[in-house]
Amino acid sequence: MSTHTTTSAPDLATTRGRLWEALAARDEAAATAAVLDAHDAGAPAEDLLLDVIGAVQARVGAEWAAGRIGVAQEHAATAIQDRVVGALAHRSPDRGTAAGPDVRGAGQPPRRVTVACVDGEWHALPARLLAEVLRGRGFLVDYLGAHVPTPHLIAHLHQSGTDVVALSSSLPVRLPVAHAAVSAVQALGLPVLVGGAAFGPGGRYARLIGADGWAPDARAAAALLADGPCPPGDARPEAAGDLPHLSDQEYTLVTRARPRLVRHVLEGLPGAVPATAAYDDRQRERTAEDIAHIVDFLAASLYADDAGLFTDFVTWTAGVLRARGVGQDALVAALDLLADAQHDFPRARSHLAAGRRALVRVPAPSTPGPRS
């Protein structure tokens, strides 16, 4: 979400401050009042959605990554933010009906947009903000919310007469699911715009999976949709975004072997990092979850054929651990143990090696990351 400040009318920085304080106190009334007061004072709804609510949500994620707030606080803040968006949306009636006569053609901007999160994506706020921004700009918006199974999305599209689909996903591990969703929508002859951290720096994985468009933030997405850059949507039943590198089967086999790989690392860890031998059941389970996460990101990096995806995750994880006073010994050991188990997988080994190299110097955690 964009964090730059462009409007000055009521100082957005002040509003952000009030909202942040209210969220920290879990005070829903104060949070809503902060945003609605600014709206009363003339701040445009779109700026409030993106430069206040969106910006504060980015800060929530960053604070979590830095270990300054807990998961529960993050969830509470997100729930309150969602209600604040609802209160603000209620102020701005649907302008979709004013979008003009129903005569369009190729090259004219689409008007009916379906906004959804991919299957398994629970972070709905960015998609919700986009939906509200589009509504404010005069689009007719169907907002399907978090975690939309692809069959539900497709059924909705058959029944709704949507012109274009916007899909949101924050985790690169959902890339294969996002790819399936994009292909399924394109097979209906509809263009798909994607957004979110899952699609990589500069949207490089969006191109990889053959999405028709990618936007770094809600404003850019709205501009793209208004310009109508998406092709009129040729039906493409054949898989869009063919990925020849998957023919080495490494992605499939690593995904299938996930439980075995996790067990292998879990059993080898006490030998490599003696401190882990003293873990209780709960700590062991958390460790198993962390290892499963590493395997998931390794699989995603194989799917995208981009070692950078894996190294980004590894360095981010190391930063999160460091923020909690945990060293990276276990992380490095886990990478080594995983590499041991990948004799026949040259791509996986090279990604693991790249991840290990990246751990030599670890930058401070900055961007909201893959777990919350």
Partner 1 sequence: MAGHCARAPHMTVFEDESGRSRAAPAARGTSWLRSPHPAVVADREGGVVEFNAAAADLFPRMGVGTWLDEVVPGWLADAHRRLSGPARTPRVPAPATAPAGSAPLRGRHDGRLLRAHPTESGHGDVAWWLVDDSDLTAARDALRTEQERTALLAEASTQLLASLNPDRCLETAALLAAAHLGDAALVISPPVRNRYAVVTAVGESFGRSQVAMDPASVPGLAEALQGFPPVPARWIDPAELPPWAVPEGFGGTPGSVVITPLPGHGVPAGVLVLLRRGGRRAFDASEELFARLFAARAGAALSAARLYAEQARITRALIAELLPPQLHHVRGVDFAGGYRTSQDTERIGGDFYDVHAGADDDRETLAVLGDVCGKGLDAAVLTGRIRSTVQALMPLAGDHRTVLELLNGALLTSRHTRFATLVLASVRRSGGHVRLRLTSAGHPPPLILRGTGHVEEVDTGGTLVGALPEVTSRSATVSLSPGETCLLYTDGITEARGGPLGSSMFGEDRLRSALAECAGLPAEAVVERLQMVAGDWVGRGPHDDMAVVAITAPHTTHLSAVNGHTRGRYTA
User: Which parts of this chain interact with partner 1 (CB under 8 A)?
Assistant: 26-30, 32, 70-72, 75-76, 78-80, 82-83, 85-87, 89-91, 101-108, 119-120, 122, 146-147, 149-152, 155, 157-161, 187-190, 232, 234-235, 237, 258-259, 262-263, 282, 285, 288-289, 291-292
Neighbours of 133 (CB within 10 A): 22
Taking the complex as a whole, the smallest distance from the CB of residue 341 to partner 1 amounts, in Å, to 15
Nearer to partner 1, 8 or 159 (CB): 159
Of 115, 55, 143, 91, the residue nearest 368 (C-alpha): 55
Nearer to partner 1, 71 or 223 (CB): 71
Strands 192-195 and 213-214: parallel
Taking the complex as a whole, the smallest distance from the CB of residue 348 to partner 1 amounts, in Å, to 18
Backbone angles phi, psi at 148, to 5 degrees: -100, 110
Q: Which residues pair with 148 in a beta bridge?
A: 118
Taking the complex as a whole, the smallest distance from the CB of residue 364 to partner 1 amounts, in Å, to 26
Taking the complex as a whole, the smallest distance from the CB of residue 104 to partner 1 amounts, in Å, to 7
Nearer to partner 1, 30 or 323 (CB): 30
Taking the complex as a whole, the smallest distance from the CB of residue 159 to partner 1 amounts, in Å, to 5
What gap in Å lies between CA 289 and CA 247, rounded to an integer? 28
Taking the complex as a whole, the smallest distance from the CB of residue 27 to partner 1 amounts, in Å, to 6
What gap in Å lies between CA 45 and CA 51, rounded to an integer? 10
Nearer to partner 1, 146 or 239 (CB): 146
- Sequence-distant (6+) residues with CB within 8 A of 154 are 184, 185, 188
Taking the complex as a whole, the smallest distance from the CB of residue 307 to partner 1 amounts, in Å, to 23
Nearer to partner 1, 72 or 278 (CB): 72
Taking the complex as a whole, the smallest distance from the CB of residue 232 to partner 1 amounts, in Å, to 8
Taking the complex as a whole, the smallest distance from the CB of residue 79 to partner 1 amounts, in Å, to 4
- DSSP letter for each residue of 234-288: ----SPSS--GGGGG-HHHHHHHTHHHHHHHHHHHHHHH-GGGGG--HHHHHHHH
DSSP H or E run through 96: none
Judged by DSSP in three states, 152 sits in helix
Contact 173, 299 (CB under 8 A): yes
Nearer to partner 1, 137 or 258 (CB): 258
Nearer to partner 1, 58 or 292 (CB): 292
| SS (HEC) of 339-359 | HHCCCCCHHHHHHHHHHHHHC
Nearer to partner 1, 216 or 229 (CB): 229
Nearer to partner 1, 49 or 307 (CB): 49
**What angle (nearest 5°) sits at the alpha carbon of residue 115, between those of residues 172 and 241?**
45
Nearer to partner 1, 46 or 119 (CB): 119
DSSP H or E run through 117: strand 112-118
Of 177, 317, 348, the residue nearest 254 (C-alpha): 348
Q: CA torsion sign, 276 to 354 to 118 to 166?
A: positive
Q: What are all long-range contacts of 275-279, with beta carbons under 8 Å and residues at least 24 apart?
A: 275/329, 275/330, 276/330
